[in-house]
Amino acid sequence: MQSIAALVATRNRAGLLLQRTIPSILRQQRSPDTLVLVNDGEEHPESVHTALRPLCSRFHVELLHNTRTPGAGGAWNTGLQWLTDRSFDGFVALLDDDDTWDPQHLAANLRAACASAADLAVSGLRLYAEGQIRRRVLIERLLPRDFLIGNPGWQGSNTFVRLSALNAISGFDEELPSMHDRDVAVRLLNAPGISWALVPEWTATWNFGTPGCLTGPSPGKLAALRRFLGKHGAHIAPDDRRLYFERAQRLFGFRQTDIEQ
């Protein structure tokens, strides 16, 4: 039987952990075998520890502190290292601390991955913004080019990947302040021998605009756009490079000259 580890990185958002993350994990039709919660900020209040105690009777719960580079990449890598050190052999499912999974999320992704003997599965991630659900098209293909230009819908909370596949690409880039999803997608899809499957249903919700989220105009986003381009730019065709800059200006207000300097 394939094992699943739920991996959550959190930073100073105890309220969201209690209101969204923990209840979302508890509702899963197929519970994870392990929950690794990595704290990238201040000490959790006692309310978080109290909420986690009932979970311990259902699966293993591990609370860690980010021992690597501050930020989501370092926090996720802290969790991946903990799993690797304990010879975990299975899938890692990420959940951002402001997002939610539908009850069937883990079961649907595991079923799709096992049916295709795949190393990763990607299901639909709906968008919730300004008090309403916004329609998004389900992903119909996974091509590195699409993630070099933008993101067609594979992000943090619908990431479901074998630990061995993540280790094969050395996990997350800790020098990226954001855009981890696109970077990991490009590297996984370009890695030899790594296969994928698509889940043709919505199983998770991305809550856009939560205070403290990594999506939106910020110095960190500009730094990420620069690093991503420096890292992958040689593989971006000229026309696609233009689309990369157009998207950065449309969504975040950064001009090509801002990114290239």
Based on DSSP, count helices (H) and strands (E) in the chain, helices before strands. Answer: 11, 9
If you average pLDDT over residues 51-56, what whole number do you get?
79
pLDDT tens digits, residue range 117-167?
999 999 999 998 878 888 788 999 999 999 999 999 999 999 999 999 999
Say yes or no to pLDDT of 76 above 70. Answer: yes
What is the reported pLDDT for 50?
A: 85
Say yes or no to pLDDT of 208 above 90. Answer: no
Query: In the chain, what percentage of residues exceed pLDDT 90?
Result: 75
Query: Can you read off the two tokens belonging to residue 239?
Result: 């026309």
The architecture of the domain spanning 3-211 is Alpha-Beta Complex (3.90)
**One-letter amino acid identity for 23?**
P
Own/partner long-range contacts of 223-230 (Cβ < 8 Å, ≥24 apart): 223/177, 224/176, 224/177, 224/178, 224/179, 225/179, 225/252, 225/254, 225/259, 226/259, 226/260, 227/173, 227/175, 227/176, 227/179, 228/176, 228/179, 228/182, 228/183, 229/259, 229/260
CB 159 within 8 Å of CB 83: no
DSSP string, 95-110: --TT-EE-TTHHHHHH
Say yes or no to pLDDT of 214 above 80. Answer: no
Compute the distance between CA of residue 115 and CA of residue 102 in angstroms, rounded to an integer. 21
Among 94, 40, 85, residue whose Cα is nearest residue 67: 40
pLDDT band at 74 (very low <50, low <70, confident <90, very high): very high
DSSP string, 60-77: EEEEEE--SSSSHHHHHH
pLDDT band at 210 (very low <50, low <70, confident <90, very high): low
Rounded to 5°, angle at Cα 224 from 153 and 65 = 85
If you average pLDDT over residues 201-207, what whole number do you get?
94
User: Where in the sequence of the chain do the CATH 3.90.550.10 domains occur?
Assistant: 3-211
pLDDT band at 47 (very low <50, low <70, confident <90, very high): confident
Full-model pTM: 0.92
pLDDT band at 215 (very low <50, low <70, confident <90, very high): low
Say yes or no to pLDDT of 211 above 70. Answer: no
Question: Which H helix or E strand runs over 200?
Answer: strand 196-207
Say yes or no to pLDDT of 36 above 90. Answer: yes
